[in-house]
Amino acid sequence: MKSGDLVNSSALDFGDAHTPPWAMAYHYGTGLHIEVKGAPDLPREPTLPPQPWVGTKPLNLGSLHGSPPRIINAEKSEFNEDQAACGKLCIRRYEFGAEEDQEWLTLCTEEFLTGHYWALFDGHGGPAAAILAANTLHSCLRRQLEAVVEGIVTTQPPMHLSGHCVCLSDPQFVEEKGIKTKDLVIGALECAFQECDEVIGRELEASCQVGGCTALVAVFLQGKLYVANAGDSRALLVRRDEIRPLSSEFTPETERQRIQQLAFVYPELLAGEFTRLEFPRRLKGDDLGQKVLFRDHYMNGWSYKCVEKSDLKYPLIHGQGRQARLLGTLAVSRGLGDHQLRVLDTNIQLKPFLLSVPEVTVLDMDQLELQEDDVVVMATDGLWDVLSNEQVAWLVRSFLPGNRDDPHRFLELAQMLIRSTQGKEDGPTVQGQVSYDDVSVFVIPLHSQGQGGSGP
């Protein structure tokens, strides 16, 4: 995907994914245009003139899905390692078999439930994993939702999907556990990420490819917006009087205790080359025998320990902030892929320390008094490296109210956010701040979504 190109998959009703090619070019038009080899690079210009949103009109979403993703290639690699997908999720139901003990057998051809899907994938180690994820995750999610759709459309999920009660108190057990229909959607997202990760692992191994990607997904279903994140991309709710992060970033620093605990339980993962303990800096020979600050997996605070020779090994987590690295290699602690990733010149794997399971945040749209300028901004870390939540909110609030008659205003806002990362837009950015990473942005308007949820 090249600088300034767009993805537009709104015309696609997501179906089962086939094995995708290794490079894909995105174009305006009726859907994803897939090529076996990469398209020639475009001039490094972050935006194109506003274009009409082409595709089928989404259910209950007004005239726009939101902005198509705006993308700029930082030219770290030949192909943009950021990938994106969006479209309508068409969820069908299974008809129950004739016999009571039969599983759900027949998949109806008609749509039973519809939702909408946006996803950003920030690749590392090449574009292969991000391309696979962009072409696979929505199909995994659709299958997972279809497997539980009967529970999703009920007031309270039944103990047995068939509705059959083995025990008369089954509904009470479900209620006492506090299980809601939203928990089935959360579970479907978690299972879909796991399934997609397994697919990526198999495909990359079979093709002798390497790499991984972060994944940030938003799904609008039955009046709720579900935001699932595995990695360091971010989704931000911006309203007239509210700024609310809808995702957490997963880095070696933010998941330090989980990672250290894994190394404590399975010390063989470090192969004797690393220390799991954290110190304020890399220890030197002169520190031997001295009492220095440290912390372990069970500690939020700090203490002192006498430095031993084993403490001089390279730290499991080293660096601070955006410079923090896991095993001196990776800047994120969750994502898809990286099954073949190893520490340089060793056989030490990083995958055991990585999670593919996302954290899911649920935004109940029916509980919000939505205004027409309320949006969710989804972006890869290249944007957030340069702009804070408050700066993004300032740009949103400065631009949208004065452009309400512009049918392309969400697209243009995404373009403006991209320009801001390149120092090409007046605004609240720190002078001289420029992002040297790939940057991808979705701007999703909430007002039309909140007018009515998709349903059977």
- 175: CATH: 3.60.40.10
Do residue 127 and residue 222 come from a single domain?
yes
Q: Is the pLDDT of residue 222 over 70?
A: yes
What does residue 65 show for φ and ψ, rounded to 5 degrees?
-65, -25
Do residue 245 and residue 303 come from a single domain?
no
> What's the pLDDT score for residue 422?
81
> What's the pLDDT score for residue 205?
94
> What's the pLDDT score for residue 20?
36
Do residue 214 and residue 81 come from a single domain?
yes
Grade residue 70 by pLDDT with cuts at 50, 70 and 90. low
Q: Which of 81-90, 164-173, 359-368 has the lowest mean pLDDT?
A: 164-173
Q: Tell me if 98 is assigned to some domain.
A: yes
Q: What percent of the chain has pLDDT over 70?
A: 73
What does residue 164 show for φ and ψ, rounded to 5 degrees?
-75, 135
Q: Is the pLDDT of residue 216 over 70?
A: yes
Q: Which residues pair with 213 in a beta bridge?
A: 123, 336
Q: Is the pLDDT of residue 73 over 90?
A: no
Number of H helices, E strands in the chain: 7, 19
430 vs 58: which has the higher pLDDT: 430
Helix (H/G/I), strand (E/B), else coil: 375: strand
Please identify which residue in the block is written with the tokens 């391309």: 131
> What's the pLDDT score for residue 115?
92
Last residue of a domain, one of 331, 347, 380: 331
198 vs 96: which has the higher pLDDT: 198
Do residue 86 and residue 202 come from a single domain?
yes
Q: Which of 19-23, 295-299, 307-311 has the lowest mean pLDDT?
A: 19-23
In tens, the pLDDT along 388-412 reads: 999 999 999 999 999 888 889 999 9
> What's the pLDDT score for residue 158?
73
Do residue 209 and residue 273 come from a single domain?
no
CA distance 164 to 284: 65
Most confident of 30-44, 239-253, 397-411: 239-253
Q: What percent of the chain has pLDDT over 90?
A: 58
Last residue of a domain, one of 267, 298, 331: 331
Q: Tell me if 2 is assigned to some domain.
A: no
> What's the pLDDT score for residue 400?
92
21 vs 202: which has the higher pLDDT: 202
Do residue 325 and residue 395 come from a single domain?
no
> What's the pLDDT score for residue 424?
67
DSSP 64: -
Do residue 235 and residue 174 come from a single domain?
yes
In tens, the pLDDT along 266-278 reads: 999 999 999 999 9
Do residue 245 and residue 271 come from a single domain?
no
Q: Tell me if 348 is assigned to some domain.
A: no
What does residue 192 show for φ and ψ, rounded to 5 degrees?
-65, -40
Q: Which two tokens stand for residue 349?
A: 């794997």
**Distances in whole angstroms, Cα of residue 324 to Cα of each of 133, 253, 258:** 25, 7, 15
Please identify which residue in the block is written with the tokens 């174009």: 27
> What's the pLDDT score for residue 352?
98
Residue 1 in contact with residue 82, Cβ under 8 Å?
yes
Please identify which residue in the block is written with the tokens 């935004």: 363
Do residue 316 and residue 224 come from a single domain?
no
Last residue of a domain, one of 296, 331, 366: 331
Domain count, the chain: 2
Calculate the average pLDDT of the chain: 80
Grade residue 265 by pLDDT with cuts at 50, 70 and 90. very high
Residue type, 242: E
What does residue 228 show for φ and ψ, rounded to 5 degrees?
-115, 125
> What's the pLDDT score for residue 151?
84
> What's the pLDDT score for residue 414?
92
Do residue 203 and residue 102 come from a single domain?
yes
> What's the pLDDT score for residue 261?
98
Grade residue 21 by pLDDT with cuts at 50, 70 and 90. very low
Q: Tell me if 24 is assigned to some domain.
A: no
Q: Supply the DSSP string of 387-428, one letter for each residue.
A: --HHHHHHHHHHHSGGGTT-TTHHHHHHHHHHHHHTT-S-SS
Q: Tell me if 129 is assigned to some domain.
A: yes
Q: Tell me if 340 is assigned to some domain.
A: no
Burial code (b: 16+ CB inside 10 Å, e: under 16) for 371-402 equals eebbbbbbbbbbbbbbbebebbbbbbbebbee
Do residue 319 and residue 276 come from a single domain?
yes
Q: Is the pLDDT of residue 77 over 90?
A: no
Strand-strand pairing, 82-91 and 113-124 = antiparallel
> What's the pLDDT score for residue 450?
53
Q: Tell me if 48 is assigned to some domain.
A: no
318 vs 176: which has the higher pLDDT: 318
Q: Which two tokens stand for residue 300?
A: 């939020």
Grade residue 12 by pLDDT with cuts at 50, 70 and 90. very low
Q: Is the pLDDT of residue 26 over 50?
A: no
Q: Tell me if 8 is assigned to some domain.
A: no
Average pLDDT over residues 64-76: 51
Do residue 106 and residue 225 come from a single domain?
yes
Average pLDDT over residues 139-163: 84
Could you tell me the sign of the dihedral formed by the alpha carbons of 413, 247, 250, 292, in that order? positive
Helix (H/G/I), strand (E/B), else coil: 177: coil
Average pLDDT over residues 28-52: 30
Q: Which of 58-72, 150-164, 225-239, 438-452 has the lowest mean pLDDT?
A: 58-72
**Burial (CB count within 10 angstroms: exposed 0-12, middle 13-18, buried 19+), residue 445:** buried
Domain that holds residue 318: 256-331
Residue type, 393: A
